[in-house]
């Protein structure tokens, strides 16, 4: 009987997605002694998973519910098949991307601050706008929010989440979506190679990052690339914090060149008092984009089917051969 390792506090309703014919092994956070399992459902907490790794024996499959498994690669052992959660996050993360874009364009953080202070911020009273003063005037009229309609959006790291985001963008009448991945392709849609990124950045009103963290992507968006963005462009990071050089991002935000919406930061968690917290034109959420009740059901429904495939000797899905994007 195949022994399947899961975190000890896995809710009963989620383990109900698993097939019969397995032995479910509940693994405590503070695993003290060696344990033999064949199929390991990795815990969401990467620190917990890494601490357990030296005591886990006999593993043939490591299954993560996360779309990015960069954190697993350094300590994966030879002979282990690693599978990621590609596709599971499409709905939740693409919805966060859309929320971040619309919240930024509608200046919701500005107005939320006004609500907190019980002040009606509008007309001539508008303070701390997302863009520079010159952008917010049309003669004697003040611009008090913006539209997504007619904008150009560049998606860097075009995979299943990128495709789901594009579908939602179409509803809002964006002018153009530019797609970028590791290598170019033309089917089913045109995708540009990452080598073209520098030429494409100045064309975009909004840049959405959905890349995995690899040696190639770490620090990809430093000062030079950030300065290629249009004045007032919106950078949305729903990928990994270290893809953007934090110090450089803080600098361009403080200069008023661009704005940002971040679900991930570097460092993470972002320490109290870090300058990114107070950087102007920056919306931050604490790495919550993918975590919804529906996501958990999708995740364990997928994992249950993966276990069935393994039991039946069928090819597994989402096998990680390299950290492509």
Residues with a catalytic annotation lie at: 240, 268, 287
Strands of the sheet with 282-284, listed across from one edge? 192-193, 176-181, 152-156, 206-209, 234-237, 259-262, 282-284
Paired sense of beta strands 259-262 and 234-237, if any:
parallel
- Between CA 145 and CA 143 the distance in angstroms is 6
Of 249, 239, 250, 247, the C-alpha closest to 217 is: 239
- Between CA 243 and CA 214 the distance in angstroms is 9
- Between CA 258 and CA 252 the distance in angstroms is 7
For residue 11, what are its two tokens? 């809710």
* Cβ neighbours of residue 43 closer than 8 Å, sequence gap 6 or more: 7, 27, 29, 49, 52
């Amino acid at each position: 009987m195949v022994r399947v390792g899961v975190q000890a506090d896995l809710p009963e309703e989620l383990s109900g997605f698993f097939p019969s014919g397995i032995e479910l092994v509940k693994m405590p956070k503070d695993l003290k002694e060696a344990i033999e399992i064949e199929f390991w459902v990795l815990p969401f907490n990467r620190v917990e998973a890494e601490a357990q790794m030296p005591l886990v024996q006999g593993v043939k499959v490591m299954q993560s519910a996360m779309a990015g498994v960069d954190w697993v690669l350094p300590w994966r052992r030879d002979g282990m098949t690693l599978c990621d959660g590609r596709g599971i996050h499409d709905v939740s993360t693409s919805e966060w991307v859309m929320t971040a874009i619309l919240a930024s364009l509608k200046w919701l953080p500005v107005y939320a601050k006004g609500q907190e202070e019980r002040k009606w911020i509008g007309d001539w009273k508008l303070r701390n706008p997302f863009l520079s003063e010159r952008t917010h005037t049309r003669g004697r009229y003040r611009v008090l929010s913006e539209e997504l309609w007619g904008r150009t959006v560049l998606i860097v790291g075009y995979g299943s989440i990128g495709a789901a985001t594009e579908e939602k963008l179409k509803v809002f009448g964006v002018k153009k979506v530019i797609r970028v991945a590791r290598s170019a392709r033309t089917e089913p849609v045109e995708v540009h190679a990452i080598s073209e990124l520098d030429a494409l950045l100045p064309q975009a009103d909004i840049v959405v990052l959905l890349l995995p963290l690899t040696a190639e992507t770490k620090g990809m968006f430093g000062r030079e690339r950030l300065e290629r963005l249009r004045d007032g462009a919106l950078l949305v990071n729903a990928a990994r914090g270290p893809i953007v050089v934090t110090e450089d991002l803080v600098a361009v935000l403080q200069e008023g060149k661009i704005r940002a919406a971040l679900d991930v930061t570097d460092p993470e968690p972002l320490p109290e008092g870090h300058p990114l917290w107070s950087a102007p034109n920056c919306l931050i959420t604490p790495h919550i984009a993918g975590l919804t009740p529906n996501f958990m059901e999708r995740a364990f429904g997928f994992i249950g089917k993966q276990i069935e495939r393994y039991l039946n000797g069928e090819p597994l899905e989402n096998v990680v051969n390299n950290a492509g994007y």
